[in-house]
Amino acid sequence: MRAAIRAAIRAAGSSNEVGAASAVISRAIYWVEEQFERLPIHWMWWPALGGIAVGAIGYYVPRTLGVGYDNIEDIISNRLSLGVVAALCAAKLLSWAISLGSGTSGGTLAPLLTLGGGLGALIAAGLQSFVPGLEIGMGALVGMAAMFAGASRAFLASVAFAFEATRQPEVLPALLVGATCAYLVSHLIMRDTIMTEKIARRGVRIPLGYEADALRHTLVSEVMTIFPQIIPADMAVGDLAQRIADHDPELSRHQASLLVNTEGELAGIITRGDLVRAIQSGLAITVAEAGTTFPVVAFPDESVHQALSKLLQHDIGRLPVVDPAEPKKIVGYLGRSHILSARLSASSEETVREPGWLKSRALRESCPPWISG
């Protein structure tokens, strides 16, 4: 038994073929569905046509009918000849694809396990002359786990299902290697899984993995500018417009300026849009009258996500950042560009790849001794 386990681990690399097959099978299911959609008949007749096809296939290959758990048990136990296994896999794939493609309700677990077990058994039989001690039943078990892992990307579930079939911990290494190879190959070939392909075809974006929201874990103090554009609240609108027209460097960094009173406290905010509307009105008013005197503010210790929620809730594009203990004390300025830079920085960190051990070793060997040592 241990020799068979070691042989299965060595042969588990052949699960690359099973992973590729899982991607092909997933595409075949939806290809058949597309062919049904092209039929010049009403969709309510599709299940009837599918039933006729499934019945015809079952007439010649009766093992394709039913749930199929007996087939899985026979394949793992090596009770079927290789010819029967090959015929069963081909007929089961055709019957299952037509059944699902016609709109008939059906499962995916048992058919995937049947196809994976059969394909694994056939591959194991072909490798027996190259991998001494490899058992067909063990190859079928690894193929079963690999097929389910590649088609559904449920890695741990696929290993657990296969392990439950034997209840022997010794098979876990082979199952893990086979499921890993199939998972990686399927991920490279197919963007979506057999479970999510239909949803993705309807235009719904399916996330490929779990990731933390960078905006929830980034503080306002990390992205805000600590040198905001500040002007007196009693400045005339015309004077501000003239300074902007003269390309004053103190007023060209952002699309808004913070207003302060004679004591240097926050008195409001004026945007370029406010300035344009004030000029078009032709009134000689101050920037405080043209802008907003009670602006929505952010705090340096709150998350960028919270600040973004304030922007969306109030339909504004920028926030003064003030001290929580002194709401009139300006400590920074937060605009939309700062929020985008926070998200871009997080994306860059996720995509930057660290050098592998081979490249790191080459870099160390190329450095002078006083640096590498």
Position 220 scores a pLDDT of 92
- Average pLDDT along the chain, 373 residues, taken 10 residues at a time: 55 67 85 88 89 91 86 87 91 90 79 88 82 78 88 86 79 84 86 78 66 81 89 89 82 84 91 87 84 92 92 91 92 89 71 55 53 42
Q: What is the pLDDT of residue 370?
A: 44
In this structure, are 94 and 128 located in the same domain?
A: yes
The residue segments making up the domain with residue 143 are 2-201
148 Cβ neighbours under 8 A, 6+ residues apart: 22, 109, 112, 113, 116, 154, 157, 158, 161, 162, 179
Residue with tokens 């400590």: 331
* Inter-residue contact 182 to 151 (CB < 8 Å): no
Residue type, 225: T
Distance of alpha carbon 115 from alpha carbon 361, whole angstroms: 44
**Within this chain, do residues 149 and 219 fall inside the same structural domain, yes or no?**
no
> Residue 230 CB: number of other CB atoms within 10 A?
16
Q: Does residue 320 lie in a domain region?
A: yes
pLDDT of residue 328: 92
Residue 81 is assigned to a structural domain of this protein? yes
**Residues 184, 262: one domain?**
no
Asked whether residue 368 is assigned to any structural domain, the reply reads no
- Strands 230-232 and 256-260, how do they pair? parallel
Global pTM reads 0.60
User: Could you please report the per-residue DSSP string of 152-187?
Assistant: H--HHHHHHHHHHHH--GGGHHHHHHHHHHHHHHHH
Same domain (yes/no): 191, 91? yes
326 domain residue, yes or no = yes
User: What pLDDT does 169 receive?
Assistant: 79
If one counts every other C-beta atom within 10 angstroms of the C-beta of residue 234, the result is 13
pLDDT at 260: 92
pLDDT of residue 251: 77
Nearest alpha-carbon partner for 294 in 317, 277, 312, 270: 270
What is the number of domains present in the chain?
A: 2
Do residue 219 and residue 110 come from a single domain?
A: no
Non-local (6+) Cβ contacts of 208 within 8 A are: 191
Domain CATH for 144? 1.10.3080.10
Does 194 map to a domain? yes
Residue 337: per-residue pLDDT: 86
* Residue 54, both tokens: 């499934």
**How high is the pLDDT of residue 371?**
42
For position 232, which CATH number holds?
A: 3.10.580.10
At 221 the pLDDT is 92
Say if residue 136 is in the same domain as residue 78.
yes
